[in-house]
Structure 1
Amino acid sequence: MKVFQAIIKYGSIRAASRALNQSQPALTRSMKELESSLGTALIIRGVRGVQLTEAGRLFSIRMEVILSELQKATEELQYVNEQAEGYLRIGCSSLILLTIYPKMLAEFKKFLPKASLFLKEGQLSVLMPELRENKLDFAIGTVSENIPLNEFIEEPLFKAPFTILCRKGHSLENCTDLEQLRSANWLVPATDMGYYQQIQNFLQNTYNQLDSAPLFTDSIICGLNLALKSDYLMIIAYAMSKPLLLDHALSEIKLQSPLPEATYSLIYPRNTPLTLTANRMIKILRWHSKNTDWNQLYN
C-alpha cells in the first residue's frame, strides 16, 4: 500500500522508485501483488506516468485511512513501551494560537518533551478536509449548519466575544450604531462557514448598504496592516488584540448592539480512536478553555 501511495504521490513508478530508493521492478512486483490480492487493476500505466482506475481511486481513499491508523497504532505501542516520542497534528484558528496555545504547549512538553507537533492554522472550512483525510488528529474552531459533522464528535469548549476594530484616531472611532458605519471601508472574512456565517447574517443589512464594496480576506496579517495603516474596519476576536501588542494602536468600536459571541468547539473523528498523545493535549485544552476569561483582553 505504501508503494501504491508513493506512485499516486509522484505520478509514475519511475519517480516513486527514486523517492523510495527501490528498483522499478521491485515496485512493479509490489503493485502486481496488491492488484492480485484485491482482484482488480488499480492503475493504468502509460508513457506519461500512471492513471488511477475507478477501483484505484476508491481504494486510495480507504488506503490513506488504513495507513494513518497503522501509523497511530505504531506510535501508541511505542508510547506504551516508554520509547514514544509521539506525533500530534492539530488544526486551529488564530485565536487559540494567540491566547492559550503557548501555555498549553508548555504543559504538554512537560509530559511529552520529545513529542513532535504539527500545527495547521485556519478556519474550519480549510481544516475539515484534512480532518476527514486523517491528516489531523483534531481541530478547534467554530461550526455552523453548513459544516456537516456526521462522522465527527463536536464538543463545545468556550464562547468568545468578537468586536470591530479600527486604528486610533479613526473618524468613526466613537460610533455606536451599525448605521453610522455605512461609509466605512470594511475587511470581511472570506469564509462563510462557522462563526463568520453568523457575522454575515448579523451584518447583512449593513453590507447591502455600504458605500464601498468590502474587501474579503482570511489573512490576519493583511487585515491588521490595512486597519493600522488605512481607514479599514476589521472584525476580530476581542482577546486577540493584546497578544499582538496592538491595543495601543487599535480602538474598539463599541456598538450598542454588540456582535454575537462565537462558540469554539473541539472536533475529532467519531469512529477513529484518539491517540494517547492527542488525549493528553485535549485534556490540557479543556482546562485552559474552561479557566480563561474570554471577555477580557488575554494576558
Structure 2
Amino acid sequence: MNLQDMQYFLAIIEEGSITAAAKRLHIAQPPLSRQMKQLEAQLGVQLFERGRRRIKVTEAGNLLRHRAEQILELTTNTIRELKEFDTGVRGTLSIGAVTSSWVTLLPDLIHTFRDRYPHVRFRLREGESRRITELLDKGIVDLGMVRVPVDTEVYESIELPKEPLIIAFRSGYSSLGDGDKPEVNLAELAGKPLMIHRKYKHMLTEHCHQAGFTPEILCESDDVLPLLAWATAAIGIAVVPRSAVSLVPSADLLTKVIVNPALETAAALIWVRNRFLSATARHFLSLFTSLQG
C-alpha cells in the first residue's frame, strides 16, 4: 500500500462512488476499480460494499480511512517542514489575542521578533478568549494569546506569570478612598456596583460568597474596554486584570489591588496540539519561551 492507494481510497469515500472518484482524479474508472480490488487483496479485508449507485464503507474501510487521513496529513506536514528547514523565515504569522495583550504583552515581543526576522509580516485578530480559540480551531490564526484556564487536551500553552485583579474607578466616585492606600479588601466591595469581565465573574462571586456577601454585578462584558470606559465615566467600579488599565490611560482613573483574598489571573500563548506549525510560528514560540526564562 502506498500514498497513491490511500489518496485514491479516500477520494472514493468522499465522492461516494468509484465512477465519481475517477472523474475527480482524472483517470479511467476500470483501472481505479482494479487498483482498489488489488488493495483489498493485499490487505486481506473488504473495504467497500459495492451497490448500484453508491458504495458503503465497511468497518475495516473506516479504520483504513482514519489511518490514511493521519498518514497523509503527517506526510504533508513533513514535506512542508523539510522545505522550510534552514531556509530562513519569511511569510506571514497570524496571531489572535485578547484586547489587553496587544497593548501590554505583545508589542515588545513582536518588536524583538521583527529585529531578528525582518521579512515576516503579521496578520492580527482581536477578540475575547473564546473567540481566539475558535479562530485557532479553524486554522485562521497560528497562535493565540488568551486568559487562563486553557483546555490542555486541545491546546499546548506557555503560561505567563500571574497578575492580580484590581478595581478601577473614577476619582471621587467611591467611598473606597482615593490615593490613601494601594489595596482594597474584598469585603469592602460589598454593596458596590461592580463591572466585570465575564471570564472572572464565577471567581469573583465564589470568593465574595466565602467572604459572606453576594456581589452587586452592575455589568458583565466580554471585553475590558467598555468596563474601563464606564469606570472613567463614574458609572461603576471595574474589576479587571492590572495590565488592562493601560488600555484607557486617564488621570481620573484610580486603581487598587484586591486582597484578602487576592484574586489572580494569567495570560497564556496557545496553539493547537499536534497541528503543524510553520517555521515562522516555531521561531516565534522559541523567542517567547526564551524571554520568559
TM-score, normalisation: structure 2: 0.63
Query: Is the aligned partner of 1:123 residue 2:119?
Result: no
Percent identity between the aligned chains? Answer: 17
Instruction: Note closer, same or farther for the CA distance 1:213–1:150 as it changes in structure 2 (3 Å cut).
Output: closer
TM-score, normalisation: structure 1: 0.62
Instruction: Note closer, same or farther for the CA distance 1:289–1:99 as it changes in structure 2 (3 Å cut).
Output: farther
Partner of 2:91: 86
Partner of 2:271: 268
Partner of 1:218: 222
Is contact 1:76-1:276 (8 Å) kept? Answer: no
Query: Is the aligned partner of 1:138 residue 2:114?
Result: no
Instruction: Note closer, same or farther for the CA distance 1:220–1:262 as it changes in structure 2 (3 Å cut).
Output: closer
Is contact 1:182-1:206 (8 Å) kept? Answer: no
CA distance in 2, matches of 1:228, 1:218: 18
The residue identity in structure 2 corresponding to 1:122 is G
Is contact 1:79-1:85 (8 Å) kept? Answer: no
- What secondary structure is seen at the aligned counterpart in 2 of 1:148? coil
Query: Is the aligned partner of 1:230 residue 2:206?
Result: no
Match of 2:118 among 113, 129, 132: 113
Structure 1 or 2, whichever has the larger Rg, is 2
- What secondary structure is seen at the aligned counterpart in 2 of 1:284? helix
CA distance in 2, matches of 1:228, 1:161: 20
- What secondary structure is seen at the aligned counterpart in 2 of 1:120? strand
Is contact 2:91-2:280 (8 Å) kept? Answer: yes
Instruction: Note closer, same or farther for the CA distance 1:273–1:213 as it changes in structure 2 (3 Å cut).
Output: closer
The residue identity in structure 1 corresponding to 2:234 is S
Match of 1:202 among 201, 207, 214: 207
Partner of 1:97: 102
CA distance in 1, matches of 2:78, 2:207: 42
Per-residue CA shift, 1:139-171, capped at 9, x if unaligned? Answer: 222333xx5331322332321222111111122
Partner of 1:183: 191
CA distance in 2, matches of 1:120, 1:131: 11
Q: Which runs of 5+ in 2 are unaligned?
A: 1-9, 21-56, 58-64, 178-182
The residue identity in structure 2 corresponding to 1:185 is P
Partner of 1:249: 252
Instruction: Note closer, same or farther for the CA distance 1:92–1:132 as it changes in structure 2 (3 Å cut).
Output: same
Is contact 1:172-1:181 (8 Å) kept? Answer: no
- What secondary structure is seen at the aligned counterpart in 2 of 1:285? helix
CA distance in 2, matches of 1:40, 1:206: 62
Q: Which runs of 5+ in 1 are unaligned?
A: 1-33, 43-54, 291-299
Instruction: Note closer, same or farther for the CA distance 1:71–1:234 as it changes in structure 2 (3 Å cut).
Output: farther
Match of 1:240 among 241, 244, 248: 244
Partner of 1:25: none
- CA RMSD, Structure 1 to Structure 2 (Å): 3.8
Instruction: Note closer, same or farther for the CA distance 1:233–1:89 as it changes in structure 2 (3 Å cut).
Output: same
CA distance in 2, matches of 1:266, 1:157: 8
